[in-house]
Structure 1
Amino acid sequence: MTLLSSSSGLKTETNSLRLCFYGAGSMAEAIVRGLLDRGLAEPSRVSMLNRSNMGRLEELADRYGVQVSSELDAKAQRSMLHEADVIFLSMKPKDAADAIRKLQGIVTSKQMIVSVIAGLSIRTIEQLLGQPAPIVRTMPNTSSTIGLGATGISFSSSVDDNQRQLAQTMFEAIGLTAIVEEPLIEAVTGVSGSGPAYVYYLMEAMIEAGVKLGLSEEASRDLTVQTVLGAAQMVKSTGENPAELRRKVTSPNGSTQAAIETLDKHDFSNGIIRAVARAAERASEMGADIERSALS
């Protein structure tokens, strides 16, 4: 196993590390794709595990050249986990407690644990492992799949500077990163973790409205997609506040003002604020469920 850091302060090249993804869902695949596409990992040094879906694992092995194993081969899974420098906890939240308990006696203090599980606290991970560990808690989103993700990151006290840099480097391979204190990870979940779904929901409504007004579904979809893409790029490229950009395109007594007034009548802004807060709250509830399971 390659050490992640040393007393000399030398940084380990990411592609010399062994990475093990404990859970092989879409987020795990997004991270693997980003790391491989940017040359930050070697396929032969990446392993992906799941409980029993060999079809999914074979698909990933064919697509990326990574090593795979299901729970049906417990010996191979144990070896991949034990030899990894970085273990990504990427299973479903409902499976997390039992899966992480199985790492007791396998993981060591030299391994860095990276969690992408919504609501799962660093403290609970340590309880499930039965020991303190360098733990990186993250909240990516599904746009990571195309390298445009937004990931919140927080660290346990055992994570050193080199490991912090390593974690940032890995997640920057799939988009933007923001370092936050752990209590704010739930806010990240509400804003960006669940955020793509809010935008898709808005787009659904815009497309439906266009069709009802006589546009073909294809035209309405294309116009909506380009409008959302252009608006996001305007905010990013100009650096202006979205409120200011909105004001610039809202002429007095014009069509846009009429639309904004209609949204206000339906409490659009407060609805979004409440939705973000509820997503954050639900992430906390999920974490509490996992913690109760861990202690039972």
Structure 2
Amino acid sequence: MTRYGTKESIAAAPQLVLYEVDRRTGVATITLNRPEKHNAMSVPMRDRIVDLMAEAETDTDVKVIIFRGNGRSFCSGNEINEEWGQRRPHERRRTLNVGYRYGADMAWGRLGFSQAISRSSKVTIAQIHGYCAAAAYFMIACKCDVVVASDDAKIGALEARFLGPAGAVASVHINRILGTKAARRTGFTAMPMSGIEAKDLGLVHQTAAVADLGSAAQSVAEEIARNPLQKLLYLKARIKAAEGVMDTSVPSITGLLVSHFLQTAPDELDFWKTAKEVGVGGALDADKKRQGAADPRVTQPAPTASATTTATERS
């Protein structure tokens, strides 16, 4: 598959996304290991997840895959600063071009990040604590077979205040999992759901205190892995076949076009223009000032990928 990112970021990916297999239990674990950034995912990190999913797919010892994150959060989403931070003019043009090509691969490529989890024949579990935002929400949590979350987790499309509505691929999965009414509420407000609230809406299957989360997720994984591999493969294939009846190609393509036009509307264009001039952190500050008067909750925004990046850079 095509590789995106700098030589340095590609080389660092194996240390930022860890992988281990317990061959006794049949449980593999993919760990996001970038705690200082709330595990914001760079492009090479997402590519490594695709590689690891392919490796697990052909490993007959692996029956279940757990996704987890080191540090204070599960994952704050994609690394926005990597693609939209301060750059010289020629770098901006290249970034935009690469961004569109990568977006197409990620959304529609058979081996793209968006497809790797949902197409896996192995059972997948998201172990969520802290923030689970943006791409972590709709490309990992919504696509995993089982979600185990801490009671106080903060889950949702928290980036919607400054990046606009979720893309078409994301919207399809959010609507399916939460239902259209709940998806609208969470999308319009951009406020996070707790683990308990997400359980009530059907996204989360089990909650636990954060101190007990790891053992709770492991217990679920081992219980599933006690089944024969062929039985699990059959059950997963049957579920995916039923989902496939509701084809998502047309709404995905149409939604991508709509989101493109929305992202060139004045408010969103102002955000990206500001981000290129003063960095993503400066753009977030400006957006916070613009919206703060209307909604006091905006004065303390959730540390999305870009906000986390900026906070780290300032420290």
Same fold (TM over 0.5): no
Q: Name which one, 1 or 2, has greater alpha-carbon Rg.
A: 1
Q: Which structure is richer in relative contact order (CA contacts within 8 A, separation 6 or more)?
A: 2
Question: So what's the TM-score if we normalise by structure 2?
Answer: 0.27
